[in-house]
Structure 1
Amino acid sequence: MKIAWLTLCAPLLLSACTSTQTVGYGPNLEPIPGSITYGGQPRTKLTKAPVGSIVPHQFFDDFGHRVYETYVIEPDRSLRLTSRRIDYDIFND
């Protein structure tokens, strides 16, 4: 009986060890420290990439969590932040 109970609870307990949170999508997403556009647009223009291209970016935030961001190149060659996902791992906290 104990083994059956452990077999049922193990996936739940293991899923709590590592989780991913999608922080946001859309036009109201603000850059955070580590974002490409934090503190303004980059000085260099992305001249070779076509308009509408997706630019992925990953970094570690101040708490050591891995952050994945997605940008889109606008017609004026600026970057627009479109999504952010943060991976939380209790073993790194």
Structure 2
Amino acid sequence: MTCPDRRAKGVAALICIGALCIAGCTASAGGGNYPDPIPGSITYGGQPRTKLTKSPVGSWFHHRFTDQFGRTVQETYVIQPDRSLLLTNRVILEDFFDD
């Protein structure tokens, strides 16, 4: 009689793991821990008017600019299925010549 109990526990464990995976995907798809656009970002003030129609969905690119404080900023964007851009990362690049 222990076999059906083990099987039921295994199925319950798989259902829990599957639910956690789905919840993780849902949580990160809409508003994950991505940086907010700042002045100079491509998506600051909304999505750009032109769509990247020739670039494959899921491809990424960097955008480098100088922010309002004079620092060099590099942002990474990913092209979404609807051709919008998702800002996924921002790095402030250090200038080694400044003291």
TM-score (norm 1): 0.66
Ranked by relative contact order (alpha carbons within 8 Å, sequence separation 6 or more), the top structure is 1
Other-structure match for 1:57: 63
Task: Count residues in correspondence.
Answer: 68
Question: Shift of the alpha carbon at 1:87?
Answer: 2.0
Other-structure match for 2:41: 35
Q: Which structure has more strand as a fraction of its residues?
A: 1
Gaps of 5+ in 1: 1-25
Q: Please say if residues 34 and 89 of structure 2, whose CA atoms lie closer than 8 Å, have aligned partners that are also in contact.
A: no
1:83 aligns to 2:83 (yes or no): no
Percent identity between the aligned chains?
68
Whole-angstrom distance in 2 between the partners of 1:51 and 1:37:
17
TM-score (norm 2): 0.62
- Residues 30-65 of structure 1 show CA distances to partners (whole Å, capped at 9, x for unaligned) of 000000000000000100000001021000001110
- Higher-Rg structure is 2
State the SS of the aligned residue for 1:63: coil
Question: Shift of the alpha carbon at 1:29?
Answer: 1.3
Other-structure match for 1:74: 80
Q: CA RMSD in A?
A: 1.8
Q: Which structure has more helix as a fraction of its residues?
A: 2
Gaps of 5+ in 2: 1-31
